[in-house]
Structure 1
Amino acid sequence: MPEINYNALSKFLASEPLPGFFLAYGEAFLTRKAFDKIIAALVPEERRELSYELLEGVDASLANVKERLATYSFEPLLVLGLKNAPLFSAPTAPKVAGFSKQEIDTFQKFIKKPFLEGHFLVVTTDTADKRRALFKEIKAVGLVIDCSVPKGSRQADKTQQSAILRQIMEGTLNATGKGIDGDAFAMLVDRTGFDPSTLSDNLEKLVSFIGERVSITVQDVQKVVKRTRKDAIFELTNAVCDRNAGTALFYLKSLLNAGFHPLQIVMALSNQLRKLVLVKFFIERSRQRGIPCWQPNSPYNRFKQHTMPMIEQADAEITATAENWDRTLAGHAAPTPAGKSGKPKTNKNLTDLLIAPNKNNTYPVYHTFLKTDNFSLAELKQAITRLSEVDMKMKRSANDPEIVLDNLILWLCTKGEKNA
């Protein structure tokens, strides 16, 4: 059977015949929706009391699943549901975190044979390891539904996340005949982040709140929806690099409220500003040599064609120099131990010295160059010194960490050279 995306499930369920095994994996809200769609397609509402069984708690064992599927039922139709099954837990995980290897092996052998006629199994799980023999066997005998959504911050990831949230919004509101203003939806997403379950719940609350009105407004969202979004720390570092004090302070408070340790925040800022120092030094050095590699606000295409070749050359020179130093210091000792791939392990310290460790992903490097336009090299050097001082201050004094970080953010976002 093919592996399909969640969006293709409804069309597949309209076809005949349907397989005996369904596995949906990925984002919790989408797997739950996929599960409900499959159950609705297999078992009419009026027959579920006798023909549908959801296994939970002590009943949710693979031995019980196998026993029920291998036993003839008084009803011609039997559908078993198994939610959040830990089918792909790590082999070293404790027993409570998943099924044993013996259980998995026995189950894998069992599903190779067709189920009894009219017997179906619908399973959901948060992750699926496609390398495992069990996954390959399930895909061979049943249907696998990919409900995963990228959680990254790349533009492609954000676009896919936004599309999923918009689908949920349309599905929820179309069923009620209601609508939502564009600005209101943007505010709703900003307050919930990528959390499909919370978004759906909030939309239902808003529908109830507006009563007879046909459209949800910004004012409705402000009154009904609390901010539950868990902000990523890169939101703070980006705001600091943009020297946007108001936005940076907002995300700082959000992160502290979410339980981030103040020293985690200092470390994240230090790592980001060190990258800017590395890039800014590279820009200044190329300018001094009479071959400028970067002009402020250069377009991405020019960066790829003009700047990236110079970066690759500089990174290659640094790599060669570091390797020579290693050989000299080691006295031509044995080479660096190989990793699982057979290649020498990457030197973490060396990676930190490279501008573009992954040359196949240049867009983040381009954005780092854009952010260096907001700082002079002298300002960045001062910022690194100030961060080091703040780090020591937090470890040695009883000052309120939030006040210390507030002052740090304001200092970093103030343009011009300053007294540290």
Structure 2
Amino acid sequence: MPKDGLTIDDLRSALAQRKFAPAYLFHGEEGFLAEEATDLIIRTALSAEQQGFNLDVLYGSDADARDIISHASSFPMVAERRVVVVREVDKLVNKELLSSYLEQPSASTCLILHSTKPDFRKKPYATAKRTATVIRFEPIRDNQITGWINARVKQQGRQIDLEAAKILAAYAGTSLREIQNELDKLYSFAGEKTTISSDDIRAVVGVSRDFNIFELQNAIGAKNLSRSTEILSRMLDGGESPVFIIVMLTRFFTTLWKLSDFRRRGTTDLAGAVGVNPHFIKDYVAALGNFPASELEHSFEVLATADEQLKSTSLDPFQIMQNMILYLMKQRELALT
């Protein structure tokens, strides 16, 4: 039965009951989750021994639709079904030929098509939408990363505390593949421990307890120039990327800007509105009290100038960053001189 708009959780539930679809279309830009879904189907459908005779992986860039149909139409050998995976189906020159197979796919085959940006007005995507199980994999947004990490760690049989998840999200970014790589390192480091702590993150990722991006954000939010300068210096001495610092501070000021707007509108759930964990919203509210709207707006200019100088001049990066902190801290005083 064709199904559209399903999630990977729906897929897990179906596979747990050994309910397979004869054809799947996985699309979207989050390739890591699409690969995981594919691996889950393969592992559930075929044992390691069966995969040698019943698993075909092809690439649209060098495959032919007729060959794909031939593989998918073949009967499994000493197994209930076979699995045919087609990566980069968008690059398949004669992909429209797959439509005839998708109209009546083999019940003993799982055909899995991977597409980044399918055009559902055209074949074979229009056909797949009617006859296959379609799952969209889109990148996780910045404000969803911490929650995704929590759910991921729980799914893998462990727990992670809130600060640890926040630190990992900041340093691994939005790449789910990179996050999972770091989690694998953490599990190895933690051994039999069931809860991942912020100390574990710091040990594995190399983040200092007192001199990290979150402490820098708090010091800037409090307009504490000496503390901000000290943290910045320690971070740069420890090898932290100046560009990373600017990216994170830009996120910080973007959140303050959104917070200012939602407060003006009288929004009550500020944490939910700006995508910040409720545990940390008080820090942002306190920082907002030190930055009126004019300074918030100018902060983006300061950050953009520092970023441009780092990328296009031979100026000392440490001096560029020091000046950036000074201008963020002392906007009012500098404007009067």
- Pick from 79, 92, 95: which aligns with 1:99? 92
Q: Following TM superposition, by how much is the alpha carbon of 1:380 offset from its aligned partner in structure 2, in angstroms?
A: 8.6
Q: How far apart, CA to CA, are the structure 1 residues paired with 2:309 and 2:185?
A: 46
Is the aligned partner of 1:148 residue 2:144? no
Counterpart of 2:212? Answer: none
SS in 2 for 1:299: helix
SS in 2 for 1:417: helix
SS in 1 for 2:26: strand
Which residue identity does 1:64 align to in structure 2? D
- Pick from 65, 68, 88: which aligns with 1:65? 68
Counterpart of 1:53? Answer: 56
Q: Following TM superposition, by how much is the alpha carbon of 1:57 offset from its aligned partner in structure 2, in angstroms?
A: 8.7
Q: Following TM superposition, by how much is the alpha carbon of 1:75 offset from its aligned partner in structure 2, in angstroms?
A: 5.2
Give the gaps of 5 or more residues in structure 1. Answer: 88-97, 228-235, 277-295, 305-361
Distance 1:398 1:81, change over 3 A: same
Which stretch of structure 1 is more off in the superposition, 48-57 or 139-148?
A: 48-57
- Confirm or deny: 8 A CA contact 2:221 2:290 kept in the other structure: no
Is the aligned partner of 1:168 residue 2:124? no
- Confirm or deny: 8 A CA contact 1:242 1:371 kept in the other structure: no
Counterpart of 2:280? Answer: none
Could you list the per-position Cα deviations for residues 50-108 of structure 1 after superposition, in whole angstroms to 9, with x for gaps in the alignment?
A: 22222359764433212222345655655233254242xxxxxxxxxx233xx122223
- Confirm or deny: 8 A CA contact 1:297 1:373 kept in the other structure: no
Residues 87-126 of structure 1 mapped to structure 2, 5 A cutoff: 87=90, 98-100=91-93, 103-112=94-103, 114-126=104-116
Q: Following TM superposition, by how much is the alpha carbon of 1:143 offset from its aligned partner in structure 2, in angstroms?
A: 0.5
- Confirm or deny: 8 A CA contact 1:244 1:413 kept in the other structure: yes
Is the aligned partner of 1:30 residue 2:15? no
Identity of aligned residues (%): 19
Q: How far apart, CA to CA, are the structure 2 residues paired with 1:14 and 1:186?
A: 32
Aligned-residue Cα RMSD (Å) equals 4.9
Q: Following TM superposition, by how much is the alpha carbon of 1:249 offset from its aligned partner in structure 2, in angstroms?
A: 5.5
- Confirm or deny: 8 A CA contact 1:51 1:78 kept in the other structure: yes
Between structure 1 and structure 2, the one with the greater Rg is 1
Counterpart of 1:417? Answer: 333
Q: Following TM superposition, by how much is the alpha carbon of 1:403 offset from its aligned partner in structure 2, in angstroms?
A: 2.1
Counterpart of 1:206? Answer: 186
Report how many residues are paired.
299
Q: How far apart, CA to CA, are the structure 1 residues paired with 2:308 and 2:19?
A: 67
- Pick from 322, 327, 337: which aligns with 1:406? 322
Residues 149-298 of structure 1 mapped to structure 2, 5 A cutoff: 149-151=139-141, 153=142, 158-159=143-144, 161-172=145-156, 174=157, 178-226=158-206, 246=228, 256-257=242-243
- Confirm or deny: 8 A CA contact 1:390 1:404 kept in the other structure: yes
Give the alignment's TM-score, normalised by structure 1.
0.55
Distance 1:126 1:171, change over 3 A: farther
- Confirm or deny: 8 A CA contact 1:51 1:77 kept in the other structure: no
Q: How far apart, CA to CA, are the structure 1 residues paired with 2:306 and 2:11?
A: 53
Give the alignment's TM-score, normalised by structure 2.
0.66
